[in-house]
Structure 1
Amino acid sequence: MLNSFVVGCGGFIGAASRYLLSLLINRYNTSTFPVSTLIINILGSFLIGLLVEILAVQNPNNKKLLLFLTTGILGGFTTFSTFSLETINLYQNGNTFLAILNVVLSILFCLAGVVLGKVLARVIIS
């Protein structure tokens, strides 16, 4: 039960952060391409890679901290369900190229974000 509370608290922080960052990014995005979702997913992927590596070395037994940061904050922050909806909407609105571009960029950069986060964590730790 405590783990659910920890995840829920983190989820609130992550979801609120995602909303505020989306507002900021969308002030400058004039295209129909979902730039804010892409940026948030890349950032969240990078951060989860970074945090998992750091916590594995620095604090491997603190499962609640890991749950709070990864499942909670970053689970609430990243927007894969929104990515999926926006991609389908692009496709259904006749923007097939943008839909495919969104899938390719999201997969490539989010995977790269995790790898870079893990690499940076190893540099920081060592």
Structure 2
Amino acid sequence: MNALVVGLGGFIGAASRYYISTLVNKINTSGFPIATLIINILGSFLIGLLTQLLMGLCPDNKKMQLFLTTGILGGFTTFSTFSLETVNLFQDGKVVFGVANVILSVAFCLTGVVLGKMLAKTIASI
């Protein structure tokens, strides 16, 4: 049953990632993988927010946690894509873009988790 819950969430997350990437890539023509960066920042924020909220609201609901974090956000965030795109940037000689992608992804994704947790704590205290 857990695999079904994770799989359903993964479908939702992956489909969301596809649609957001498609939309952003229609606008972005620079060659910088901004869609992946946006998705990873948003996913990091959401995983911080949701894990904090779930700990307070339904700490014993493991299926909900699996569905939202491992499922939806696991399918949504794209660390392997980030890694591939970064390596490709370096291999294509776009060193500045490669370094920028690493720095921006790490800094903003960690910040996203922290901000998500802070927002969840604020919501919980209301």
TM category, shorter: over 0.9
Distance 1:34 1:98 in 2: 9
Count how many residue pairs are aligned between Structure 1 and Structure 2: 125
Deviation per CA, 1:25-68: give whole Å up to 9, x if none.
11110101000000000000000000000010011100000000
In the TM superposition, 1:68-107 aligns within 5 A as: 68-107=67-106
SS in structure 1 of the partner of residue 27 of structure 2: coil
Alignment match, 2:107: 108
Amino acid of the structure 2 residue aligned with 1:75: G
Alignment match, 2:54: 55
* Percentage identity across paired residues of the two chains: 67
Amino acid of the structure 2 residue aligned with 1:107: V
Please report the TM-score for the alignment, with normalisation by the length of structure 2. 0.98
Distance 1:48 1:22 in 2: 19
Alignment match, 1:13: 12
Distance 2:23 2:120 in 1: 28
The RMSD of aligned alpha carbons is: 0.4
Give the gaps of 5 or more residues in structure 2. none
Amino acid of the structure 2 residue aligned with 1:77: F
Amino acid of the structure 2 residue aligned with 1:74: L
Distance 2:55 2:31 in 1: 40
Give the gaps of 5 or more residues in structure 1. none
Amino acid of the structure 2 residue aligned with 1:83: F
Distance 1:98 1:24 in 2: 21
Q: Runs ≥4 in structure 1, deviation > 6 angstroms?
A: none
Alignment match, 2:32: 33
Distance 2:30 2:62 in 1: 41
Deviation per CA, 1:52-106: give whole Å up to 9, x if none.
0001001110000000000000000000000000000000000011101100000
SS in structure 2 of the partner of residue 27 of structure 1: helix
Distance 1:109 1:29 in 2: 19
